[in-house]
Amino acid sequence: MSLHIIVCVKSVVTGAGGGMVRRTPENSALNPFDRPALEAALRLKTRHGASVTVLSMGPDAASAALSEARAMGADRAVLINDRALAESDTLVTARVLAGAVRRLKPFDLLFFGTRTADSDTGQVGPQTATAMTLPFVSGVSHMVLSQDRWQVQRVMDDWQEHWTLTPPAAVTIDARAFDPRPLHLAAIGQVYAQRSVETWKLADVGLAENAVGLAGSPTRVAALKTIKRTRACEFLDGEPKEQLRSLVERLADKGMLTS
């Protein structure tokens, strides 16, 4: 039997005004940190004959991100889309994804990006693994299948770690380890022509309305806004010793150095 890899992805907000944000196709995109996770799964697909399912929770606009994942090479795309899910936090998101993953069984590997480009919490991967009591390793950069077990590698600080995972297991993928493949126009056209994104409702993942949304979320996003930073670059003249002396004096004048 071929491997089944599920990759959880998110359609992230690329622009925000003030207050709460309504996701639309114009202000949303596939999370860039999920692309390496999808690429890792697609390489395993090529190497081992795996099937790849992409899974997401979100509004209608999130289907575009799933269609893009299908165009990259994923075999199946599932979107959990229900009004009751609005304003769910990461804990609720993890519970919803866990319910969907259980419905997609059997599977061997559950992939996540390390974080998202909008909320940037890095919580959903480990929370989903915990909800499903799956073995979990974060920041994975290399995976090798050996006698029905996965040998995985990650770099943490100055240490290279090696772990052995017995499937089913969950990992987050190091964004630096896999360069996502380019999209081809023919693949994009084919996917959109097929309308190949399945839509599930809350009942399909076995959760009640009072367990999701704001009612089920211990945390909530009060607002989302873009922060503009202004930076100035100044070049210091002179020989290296003079430049260093000038730099130290400037930092001291700003109170950034103490004697």
Q: What is the per-residue pLDDT across 133-147, written as a single tens digit (0 to 9) for each?
A: 999 999 999 999 988
What tokens were used for 238?
A: 């002179």
Rounded to whole angstroms, the Cα distance separating 44 from 145 reads 10
Which three-class secondary structure state does DSSP give residue 30?
Answer: strand
Q: What is the per-residue pLDDT across 82-116, written as a single tens digit (0 to 9) for each?
A: 999 999 999 999 999 999 999 999 999 999 999 99
- Per-residue pLDDT for 17 more than 60? no
Domain 4-216: CATH superfamily, name plus number: HUPs (3.40.50.620)
Rounded to whole angstroms, the Cα distance separating 132 from 124 reads 12
How confident is the model over 64-87, as a mean pLDDT? 94
Buried b / exposed e along 148-169 (16+ C-beta atoms within 10 A): eebebbbeeeeeeeebebebbb
